[in-house]
Chains A and B, each alone.
Chain A
Amino acid sequence: MAATVIETPSTRKEKVRDWTKPAAMAIPKEGYFSVKNGRYGPLYPRTPACHGFTIIAKIKPGREETIRAYGKTIETAIADMPDALATLKLHYLRWVLFDIGKDTYFMYQGIFDTDFDKYTEDAVALFKKVGVNTVFENLEGFPEDWKTNVPAFVKFVREHQCPSFLEYGEYPYETADEIKKALQLKAKFSEMLDLMQ
């Protein structure tokens, strides 16, 4: 396959991607190579680890256990409704609580296939449905009127977002949908071979 050329200052269109070779990408401090504006602010490029964000925010004092309890909430929600988060096109989610001195911080790391700017309103609606919204309400600085004020919610996310400076992908750029399709095909093919015995 041709060499991959992804968004850099000198290219405007994303070209063919090569999933056969692991790849890494160093990213400038701002999180993007050149300013390209989405509806709510600058866009971040697709990397070998697709799209994502790392939100780090201080929690309101005494809320640690409340936040931890959401682990079970989400586990149950997904067990009941496995496709609940389908709109976000997630690969992975990691929620972490850690201390710096006397303060406790919450880190929300997501890796997904669509840039956050596009599906912001859908994400907010989804959070409400799955019950994730109230996790955010335990964070300092989270806007109280976030339900009717999507721009304020986006502002909070962007202000607490810490862009990566390095991302690596074992099967770079591939979407969760494509990976699942490939796995399904493999399973069906194996079944077919079995039937031909």
Chain B
Amino acid sequence: MAIYSASLPKSVGRELPKADAASLEFEDIQHFLIHRSPALAARYEFLTFRKPAPGRAWLRTMTEKVTTAAAVRSGQLNTRWVTVALNWNGIRALGLNDHSLASFPEEFRQGMATRAEVLGMTGANHPEHWKGGLASADLHAIVILFARDVPERERCRVEHEKFLSQCQGVEVLSSLDLEAIPPFDYAHEHFGYRDRLSQPAIEGTGEEPMPGSGPAIKAGEFFLGYPDEEGLSAEGPKPEILSRNGSYLAYLMMEEHVGAFRDFLRQHGETQDEQELVAAKLMGRWRSGAPLVLTPEKDDPKLAGDYQRTNDFDFGKMDPHGYACPLGAHIRRMNPRDTAANMNRRKMIRRGGTYGPPLPEGVPEDGRERGIAAFVGCASLVRQFEFAMNVWANDPNFHELGNERDPIVGTQDGTFDMTIPKRPIRKKVKGLPAFTTIRGGAYFFLPGIKALRYLASLT
């Protein structure tokens, strides 16, 4: 899962490489999916519009605070980055006409809570257990704040609180504060896995893809109104001003049961090295981030942080039977590389961070809430995000494994297994416990700036 980095990337303070300036409209695209902000803190506020007019007034003001991709690419130093997105109920609450509302894709209109079964979110992950009003019909919008540090986040929180107190009819349903957890030398989550080692490069941004990632992906796979990997521009919602430069976001709040995870490692490994190997087999990378395919027997933290090498591997040619990286490991499910068809149509952009206090090593489970709250960005929720959840994460028969789901993000209820190929005889862990629980989720539309202004000026 994605975390924000602790150190400022080299791009801050100087202009990013010249892209094909004629293509992507950076001044109209929100920064969120194009740029990773060097934020150490964040806050998500989930809002409801009690009436259309106040909702639109709020949106009118917020639109001018939204950080565009152009603002970030100009090299100016920012201390905060603002993103606004709406779900279908929210767009309806602002007063968009029925004809336009009906032109949004089916899965977006239904909302993630209604699609829970499709996504495999059953049992403890089912929306009936979700928090913060995310499964309620009142959820309309999200404001995502990334901040340079906690004091800046708090300053912005107070500023928004003051503004909201003047907006009769716009209320906060719930909110979530996020912070990077130590150590701060690289982004990681509560289980200790390094994150953000594999991400698609968007064609037209000038970003170079990492070796092993294949070529840059066409912008239309993430932003509406541009040609996608099929060379066509998929139909977006009407009118065009509403869909152009927009994207869809799938939000997931995932609690991480660190105590249960560490117990599992101890149960299946006697020494520290053995436990690290168990952790690596579940994920597909060592916790340092080094990929098992490149270093199957021992960890290699230097390799992990070397962007020229850490993503330069495949599965079909280098590890067809899963002796290095098990067939059902998390990274192999989330990106099957050369073992799946049409991979260029299955790429997604991840953003997000950790919430809750870290649990230091050696400290028993304290029951406090901690986890990750992340977004998956794409141009088609059903084709990209839902496919990954339905076909890769939660299909027990992925790779003909028979009774296995993703060990980290799949819905685990104690009845699924995990096969670890070994010579001569494979190892099969039976009854994998749930290391995570989904506490909330939603589908949002991330409009372009003109689209936000269009919605704010509806009558």
Contacts and interface: CB of A to CB of B under 8 A. Distances in A.
Contacts of B341: 87, 122, 125-126
B234 interface: yes
A13 B415 contact: yes
A121 interface: yes
B395 A40 contact: no
Nearest to B391: A118
B387 interface: yes
Contacts of A37: 117-118
B383 A150 contact: yes
B230 A39 contact: no
A182 B342 CA distance: 28
Interface in A105-127: 118-119, 121-122, 125-126
Contacts of B386: 39
Interface string B396-427: 10001001000000000001000000000000
A151 B382 contact: yes
A36 B234 CA distance: 28
B235 A118 contact: no
A38 interface: yes
Nearest to B235: A148
B240 interface: no
Nearest to A151: B106
Contacts of A178: 400
Nearest to B119: A39
B338 interface: no
A87 B340 CA distance: 8
A144 interface: no
B382 A175 contact: no
A103 interface: no
B107 A39 contact: yes
B235 A39 contact: no
A188 interface: no
Interface residues of B, number: 24
Given A39-B382, A145-B235, A151-B382, A125 B345 contact: yes
Contacts of A197: none
Contacts of B382: 39-40, 151
A147 B107 CA distance: 19
B232 interface: yes
Interface in B34-70: none
A147 B232 contact: yes
Contact of B387 (A13, A39, A87, A145): A39
B345 A121 contact: yes
Contacts of A87: 341
A106 to B, nearest CB: 26
B107 to A, nearest CB: 7
A118 B395 contact: yes
B174 interface: no
Interface string A129-143: 000000000000000
B336 interface: no
A170 interface: no
A112 to B, nearest CB: 14
B390 interface: yes
Interface string A64-85: 0000000000000000000000
A58 to B, nearest CB: 27
A39 B390 contact: yes
Interface in A37-64: 37-40
B133 interface: no
Nearest to A87: B341
B343 to A, nearest CB: 10
B105 interface: yes
A91 B404 CA distance: 24
A147 B230 contact: yes
A178 B415 CA distance: 24
A149 interface: yes
Contacts of A148: 230, 232-235
Interface string B214-241: 0000000000000000101111000000
A177 interface: yes
A151 B105 contact: yes
B227 to A, nearest CB: 11
B232 A121 contact: no
Which one of A40, A87, A121, A122 has the highest number of Cβ atoms from chain B below 10 Å of its Cβ? Answer: A121
Which one of A36, A37, A178 has the highest number of Cβ atoms from chain B below 10 Å of its Cβ? Answer: A37
Contacts of B107: 39
A145 B230 CA distance: 14
Nearest to A17: B402
A149 B107 CA distance: 14
Nearest to A16: B402
Given A36-B117, A125-B342, A151-B105, A118 B400 contact: no
B33 to A, nearest CB: 21
A125 B232 CA distance: 13
Contacts of A175: 400
A4 to B, nearest CB: 14
Contacts of B415: 13
A121 B342 contact: yes
Interface string B197-226: 000000000000000000000000000000
Given A148-B232, A177-B400, A121 B117 contact: no
Nearest to B402: A14
Nearest to A36: B117
Shortest Cβ-Cβ A-B pairs, 9 listed: A87-B341, A122-B341, A118-B391, A148-B232, A39-B386, A148-B234, A39-B382, A125-B342, A122-B342
17 contacts: A13-B403, A13-B415, A37-B117, A38-B390, A39-B118, A39-B386, A40-B382, A87-B341, A119-B391, A122-B341, A125-B230, A125-B342, A147-B230, A147-B232, A148-B232, A148-B233, A178-B400
